[in-house]
């Protein structure tokens, strides 16, 4: 495999790839993450993953690039990172006792080929009390996390079920990423 670059500064994505024993560098591209009017969410995460991969590949044309974009979706709306404690509580009130989806667009690319996919995972939360929310906010973990939670952290105790890829919810669906890398290697 050619020189591998992760097109992300996410510590979670880095940790997931390290878990697989991969040797890679990191280069986080500056890509406009605005959602286009009427853009479907699966198209949005796929477009961003592909844009990130192409941006890094333009700088390192001999490399193989892994790029991803993850969004949390509830009622067909992207739920971003909480901007404040009040915003986090609003998000958790929506997710409380409900199912939501985590979608990740994954793209692997080299100078010859670009392969991508979208992975969906359904996550169900228990009903959250105000006390649960206060206690979780006090941990500091919700800051900077889509949906205001980290499934690999303390928030795991609020998740009653997932249907799909756990690593997708963390930020990078490993099985699908490796499958794309294997296909890229076979075609190169």
* pLDDT tens-digit series, residues 60-88: 999 999 999 999 999 999 998 899 999 99
pLDDT beneath 70, residues of the chain: 1, 187-188
What is the pLDDT at residue 188? 57
What is the pLDDT at residue 130? 96
List the chain domain ranges: 4-187
What is the pLDDT at residue 185? 74
What is the pLDDT at residue 186? 72
pTM above threshold 0.75: yes
What is the pLDDT at residue 5? 97
Reduced to 3 states (helix: H, G, I; strand: E, B; else coil), residue 136 is helix
Q: Could you tell me where the DSSP H helices lie in the chain?
A: 11-19, 41-59, 85-95, 130-139, 166-170, 174-187
Catalytic residues, which ones? 69
**Helices 130-139 and 85-95: angle between axes, nearest 10 degrees:** 130
What is the pLDDT at residue 118? 98
What is the pLDDT at residue 152? 94
CATH 3.90.950.10 is right for the domain spanning 4-187: yes
CA gap 91, 109 in Å, rounded: 35
Counting every residue, how long is the chain?
188
């Amino acid at each position: 495999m050619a020189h591998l670059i992760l097109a992300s500064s996410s510590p979670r994505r880095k940790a997931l790839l390290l878990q697989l024993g991969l040797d890679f560098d990191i280069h986080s591209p500056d890509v406009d993450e605005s959602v286009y009017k009427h853009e479907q969410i699966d198209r949005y995460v796929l477009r961003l993953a592909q844009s990130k991969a192409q941006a890094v590949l333009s700088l390192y044309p001999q490399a193989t690039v892994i790029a991803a974009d993850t969004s949390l979706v509830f009622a067909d709306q992207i739920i971003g990172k909480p901007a404040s404690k009040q915003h986090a509580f609003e998000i958790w009130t929506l997710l409380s006792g409900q199912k939501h989806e985590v979608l990740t667009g994954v793209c692997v690319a080299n100078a010859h080929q670009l392969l991508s996919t979208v992975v969906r995972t359904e996550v169900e939360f228990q009903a959250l009390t105000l006390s649960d929310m206060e206690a979780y906010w006090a941990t500091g973990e919700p800051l900077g996390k889509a949906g205001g939670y980290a499934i690999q952290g303390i928030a795991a105790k609020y998740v009653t079920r997932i249907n799909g890829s756990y690593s997708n919810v963390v930020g990078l669906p490993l099985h699908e990423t490796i499958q794309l890398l294997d296909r890229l290697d076979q075609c190169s």
